[in-house]
Amino acid sequence: MQKDLIRHLRDPNLIPPEKQTLLSSIAGQAAAMNMPCYLVGGFVRDILLGKSVNDLDIIVEGDAIQFGESLVKKYGGKLTPHTKFRTAIWHLAPDTLDLITARNETYINPGALPTIKPSTIGDDLLRRDFTINAMAVRVDGEHFGELLDPLNGQADLEKKIIRVLHPRSFMDDPTRIFRAVRYEQRYGFILEHSTLRLINSECFAILNTLSGQRIRHEIDLIFTEENSLKILLRLSDLGVFNRFDPNMPKVNEKYLVLQNSIPPAEFAISVDRVLLGYLLWLLDSPVEVVNALSKRLDFKSELSKAALAMVQLKNDLISRKDFKPSAWTIHLEKIPLAAIYALWLITNEPALKEFIVRWRHVKTKSTGDDLKAHGLPPGPRFGEILSQLRSAWLDGKVHSFEDELRLLETLIR
Ligand code: ATP
């Protein structure tokens, strides 16, 4: 296994060559400073699974800021130190790298953020969420490739199980419930049975005391995953959403499966994956629920605006059915494109597609200068006339520049 690990660490298909160079620089410098240095967490998990990795999580037994400063001296770049936690970010274009001082954490109150003290790698692994994330590979000098696995994470990877490190884990930090299910569904693993039993009403009660921002962050991470639908379904089955807030939207499979669809080329739009995930999840919710969730989960304003506009538009879609293209366009221009796209995915309403593909691009040929040339003094009439000309194009009343000029003259008169 040790040999496999070293082979994987040198495999350009798993770690791109530029990251390998970065890693040797770090390893060399750590050896020169006699500072034990490790890759940890998701990196080790994924490399053992033979998956490609991009993020290097570096931990040193020693002062990560001092280590970072020596790296800058030798290899250049810039360091952003965080003195409180003795961590640093090393910016070496095009990369940024987190350098962390090995630490231990104590949870004084369940659900509260932990108290942190510099410590050993052994303690650092003990503060982690699951056994499969609690492994480290040493990289400095002759220690290169040594695996530290005090909690038998490798065996759990082989058994394909997600296991917490101790029975209070979900009480200390109930966001780990979301993380557990995310890994379970991502890798096709299963929650180990005593870990599963720990997801109970006691930790749900603590989950309810967490800030909206912490929970929303976990939901954001779910929507970045290809398997977001399965993750949400599993969390629903475990009662997580319902216990958190009975008004949480139900997970509609038919909607959420569309998160992985790519807008047709003729739409000429790109929609953020996470934003689309939320919109499809909220699509059937009443306006009041969207408002309440937006507050509770501390939605960013882009999401809040799009979700609200989408459910309002959905509610009056039928009453707008016979609207002319110009009326649709004037209305839809006030709504974020992602919201219109999400609603189109579900309803197939032709007007929404027409708006995205054609109507929003329709412009008049005349400009303010043309209006001035026709002797019209600048003022509010300018905007009104240009908007009437555009509506005429949208509604098929003009088809050419000559038609537009004729209409312009009539309007001015
Ligand atoms: P992913 O592939 O999802 O990014 P990752 O393991 O890199 O996985 P991060 O969220 O970047 O995940 O966290 C890095 C490491 O920090 C994890 O592997 C885990 O060891 C630890 N960690 C992160 N969040 C927690 C938490 N809430 N409780 C305990 N340990 C955590």
Nearest atom (ligand 1) to Cα of 172: 28
SS3 string, 215-254, reads HHHHHHHHHHCCCHHHHHHHHHHCCHHHHHCCCCCCCCHH
Q: How far is the CA of 186 from the centre of ligand 1 (A)?
A: 14
Helix axis angle, 273-282 to 337-347, nearest 10°: 50
DSSP state of 50: T
Q: Which residue has the tokens 């739009």?
A: 269
CB 173 within 8 A of CB 111: yes
pTM of the model: 0.92
Cβ neighbourhood burial of 20 (10 Å; 0-12, 13-18, 19+): middle
Residue 129 beta carbon below 6 angstroms from any ligand 1 atom: yes
Q: How far is the CA of 210 from the centre of ligand 1 (A)?
A: 18
CB 83 within 8 A of CB 116: no
Residue type, 378: P
Q: Which residue has the tokens 């007007």?
A: 351
Residue bearing the CA closest to ligand 1, atom 24: 129
Which residue out of 133, 162, 210 has the highest number of ligand 1 atoms within 8 Å of its CB and is therefore the one to mutate? 133
The pLDDT value given to residue 2: 63
What is the length of the chain?
A: 413
Q: How far is the CA of 278 from the centre of ligand 1 (A)?
A: 23
Pick from 273, 304, 263: nearest CA to 287? 304
Pick from 323, 4, 17: nearest CA to 158? 4
Count Cα neighbours of 37 within 13 Å in the Cβ-side half-sphere: 27
Residue bearing the CA closest to ligand 1, atom 14: 41
Residue bearing the CA closest to ligand 1, atom 27: 176
- Give me the residue spans of the domains in the chain: 2-158, 160-244, 245-361, 368-412
Q: How far is the CA of 410 from the centre of ligand 1 (A)?
A: 67
Greatest alpha-carbon span in the chain: 89
| 302 CB-near residues (< 8 Å, 6+ apart) | 275, 336
**Tens digit of pLDDT for each residue in 347-403?**
999 999 999 999 999 999 988 888 888 888 888 888 899 999 999 999 999 999 999
The pLDDT value given to residue 49: 94
Residue 173 beta carbon below 6 angstroms from any ligand 1 atom: yes
Residues in the chain, pLDDT under 50:
none
The pLDDT value given to residue 165: 98
Residue 42 beta carbon below 6 angstroms from any ligand 1 atom: yes
Residue 175 beta carbon below 6 angstroms from any ligand 1 atom: yes
Residue 303: enclosing H or E segment and its boundaries?
A: helix 301-315
Cα separation values, 134 from 128, 137, 287, Å: 6, 11, 43
CB 90 within 8 A of CB 56: no
Residue 342: enclosing H or E segment and its boundaries?
A: helix 337-347
Do 2-158 and 160-244 agree at the fold level?
no
Which residue out of 43, 126, 128 has the highest number of ligand 1 atoms within 8 Å of its CB and is therefore the one to mutate? 128
Task: Please provide the CATH number assigned to the domain covering 160-244.
Answer: 1.10.110.30
Give CA–CA dist 31/197, Å, rounded: 44
Residue bearing the CA closest to ligand 1, atom 3: 42
Q: Tokens standing for 126?
A: 């003990």
| 21 CB-near residues (< 8 Å, 6+ apart) | none
CATH 3.90.1150.10 fits 2-158, yes or no: no
The pLDDT value given to residue 329: 97
Q: How far is the CA of 230 from the centre of ligand 1 (A)?
A: 20
Nearest atom (ligand 1) to Cα of 221: 3
Q: How far is the CA of 407 from the centre of ligand 1 (A)?
A: 64
